[in-house]
Structure 1
Amino acid sequence: MENRTVLLFGCGKVGIRLGEALIEAGHRVFAVRRNPEVLPRSFTGIALDYRRPFTAELPSVDSMVVTLTPDASERTSPDLVNPLRRLAAALPTRPRRVILVSSTRVFDGNPGLGTLTEDDVPSPASPRAHALLASESEARRLFDAIVIRPAGIYGPGRDHLIRQVARGIPMDRQRRTNRIHETDLVRALHELLRAPEPPSTLHAADDHPAPRGEVADHIARLLQVPAPPALPAGPSGHLISGERLASLLGTLRYPDYRSGYDDIIAAGDPGRWRDLER
């Protein structure tokens, strides 16, 4: 990887893990977030709120990873295009490689039949999905960006489904679900930064899409609790192909939900998930 300086524009949990891996590999990492004081000391933090006109000076870097995370006030219909335009205007030079982190949510209007690949055209239905797809188009126009679309991200600290199962909360058990462990998402971003010929679009999803009820049953066995009851609902959701990700990375660290949730639950106290949020 010849890109020695990287700007993480929007740096949450995944960005911090990616930045740490990059620094370990010898790169300099600049990280933009609203509260940079939570960043590791090895990062060069920049305080900036992408929802407002930019006041901070941005550095000239070799590559950039953009993650726009709306806050609670704009989760339904966020503006993700104007921040990209402000970013393009504020950069001294355009980085040689830019990655935009989007979401498989862009497919929320596609019929739930068959398996969706990177070659399928999204048909967004919700305002959030429309905003995500618009940001993809703008990032490609402004930066010739690579777009990565993670499915449901899970991992240590991302345990909503475990808590739901532990507390016996009814759920839509027939919904088709896809996921990616945080560890493999970080690996995918790192590889996209250094690959000589990266794909223009990548779905970050593991090798085992599954109905939510199947995943919940596995978690319930690990926690030794009854499986959560079903809400009255028909099949919904989509199946996302992870073949291109597997081609990029080879074997995933967590190729299916079993290996991922086994590790998360083995590392914690099973009783703690029942106590959270009470």
Structure 2
Amino acid sequence: MSACSVLIVGCGDVGSRLAKQMLACNWQVSGLRRSVEQLPAGVTGVAADLFDAQCPATWPSAAPDYLVYCAAASQHDEAGYRAAYVDGLKHVLSWLAERGQAPKRLLFVSSSGVYAQQGGEWIDETSVAEPQNYSGTVMLEAEKLALASGIPASIVRLTGIYGPGREWLLSQVRQGYRVTEEPPLYANRIHAEDAAGLLAFLLKADAGGQALEDCYIGVDDAPAPLAEVVAWLRQYMGVTEWSEQDRVRRTGSKRCSNARARALGWAPQYPSYKEGYAAILEGRA
């Protein structure tokens, strides 16, 4: 049996981590991004601009068995989100159609930002998704496009991704970040390696004949109040001074469940913020 192939569209941080994991499983991996020289060794580069409707000359001649769409917006406004997630996906789907290619499954990387719940309630894939901002609204539109593409599709709603190079919270804590304790503002996160690991797990599960649902939430095992995370980081990093005023740039408060992904057999390498941030601060992740 020949190795499975996957095309990762938007092969940046999470996409490159996914590429390495699939190469380790002897999959054939192609990665689409503007600067293909930044792709991991062993990945076949597809140089393309998702904002350009013309099919790239380097598009694979053979249909990929799997397609993972994990683009990132280059500008954080409604136009930037629409270009990256809706228009970019439309372009990729049209390129597949032009070549008569039909992958076995599409994984569309979305965000838990489609949920607007603010009361600290538990959220799963069946919870109502009624975003109240442009980012969630555009992402939900892109999800519907993926599900209506004619290709079997699964949406993967990732929560707050952190990891090396994604250290905003660590920087803020070092600068004396203070967060209100009551009411608790629950935050959800997933280490970048676990985000890639979930995508890899779903690809291998589908290739192995397991039936996939149309949506999964990517989150660790332990959503926690932001104040608790900040307090733990202060102690771990030895921060002894912090602001007298609370500073919070976020308003949502919800707890996302990974029960569906776990029921399929997936488990995060970093089950909570403690293991994940400790690995970053010790240079292990």
Q: TM-score, normalised by structure 2?
A: 0.86
Distance in 2 (alpha carbons) for counterparts of 1:152 and 1:75 = 19
1:85 CA displacement: 1.9
DSSP 3-state at the match of 2:246: coil
**Residue ranges of structure 2 left out of the alignment (5+ in a row):** none
Q: How does 1:6-155 map to 2 (within 5 A)?
A: 6-57=6-57, 58-59=59-60, 60-72=63-75, 74=77, 78-79=81-82, 80-91=85-96, 92=99, 93-108=101-116, 110-142=117-149, 143-155=151-163
Distance in 1 (alpha carbons) for counterparts of 2:47 and 2:273 = 36
Equivalent in 235, 248, 253 of residue 264 of structure 2:
248
Distance in 1 (alpha carbons) for counterparts of 2:187 and 2:79 = 21
Residue type of the alignment partner of 1:130 = T
Confirm whether residue 261 of structure 1 aligns to residue 277 of structure 2. Answer: yes
1:146 CA displacement: 0.5
Tell me the residue number matched to 2:246.
231
Equivalent in 218, 225, 230 of residue 204 of structure 1:
218
1:219 CA displacement: 0.6
DSSP 3-state at the match of 1:78: helix
Residue type of the alignment partner of 2:90 = R
Which stretch of structure 1 is more off in the superposition, 82-91 or 240-249?
240-249
Residue type of the alignment partner of 2:38 = V
Distance in 1 (alpha carbons) for counterparts of 2:144 and 2:24 = 33
DSSP 3-state at the match of 1:164: helix
Aligned residue-pair number: 267
1:254 CA displacement: 0.9
1:52 CA displacement: 2.1
DSSP 3-state at the match of 2:89: helix
1:41 CA displacement: 3.2
1:72 CA displacement: 2.1
Tell me the residue number matched to 1:194.
204
Change beyond 3 A, Cα 1:123–1:25: same
Instruction: State whether residues 176 and 235 of structure 1, in contact with CA within 8 Å, keep that contact through their aligned partners in structure 2.
Output: no
DSSP 3-state at the match of 1:203: strand
Equivalent in 176, 179, 184 of residue 186 of structure 2:
176
Q: TM-score, normalised by structure 1?
A: 0.88
Identity of aligned residues (%): 29
Instruction: State whether residues 5 and 62 of structure 1, in contact with CA within 8 Å, keep that contact through their aligned partners in structure 2.
Output: yes
1:251 CA displacement: 3.8
Cα displacement string for residues 204-226 of structure 1 (whole angstroms, at most 9, x for unaligned residues): 11111111110011111011113
1:86 CA displacement: 1.6
Residue type of the alignment partner of 2:272 = D
Distance in 1 (alpha carbons) for counterparts of 2:211 and 2:2 = 13
Tell me the residue number matched to 1:273.
none
DSSP 3-state at the match of 1:120: coil
Distance in 1 (alpha carbons) for counterparts of 2:161 and 2:148 = 27
Alpha-carbon RMSD across the aligned residues, in angstroms, is 2.3
Distance in 1 (alpha carbons) for counterparts of 2:280 and 2:87 = 38
Instruction: State whether residues 8 and 15 of structure 1, in contact with CA within 8 Å, keep that contact through their aligned partners in structure 2.
Output: yes
Change beyond 3 A, Cα 1:9–1:251: closer
Distance in 1 (alpha carbons) for counterparts of 2:275 and 2:9 = 31
Cα displacement string for residues 140-194 of structure 1 (whole angstroms, at most 9, x for unaligned residues): 1012310001111112222111111011134455421001111221211011102
Instruction: State whether residues 122 and 257 of structure 2, in contact with CA within 8 Å, keep that contact through their aligned partners in structure 1.
Output: yes
Instruction: State whether residues 150 and 185 of structure 1, in contact with CA within 8 Å, keep that contact through their aligned partners in structure 2.
Output: yes
Distance in 2 (alpha carbons) for counterparts of 1:252 and 1:40 = 23
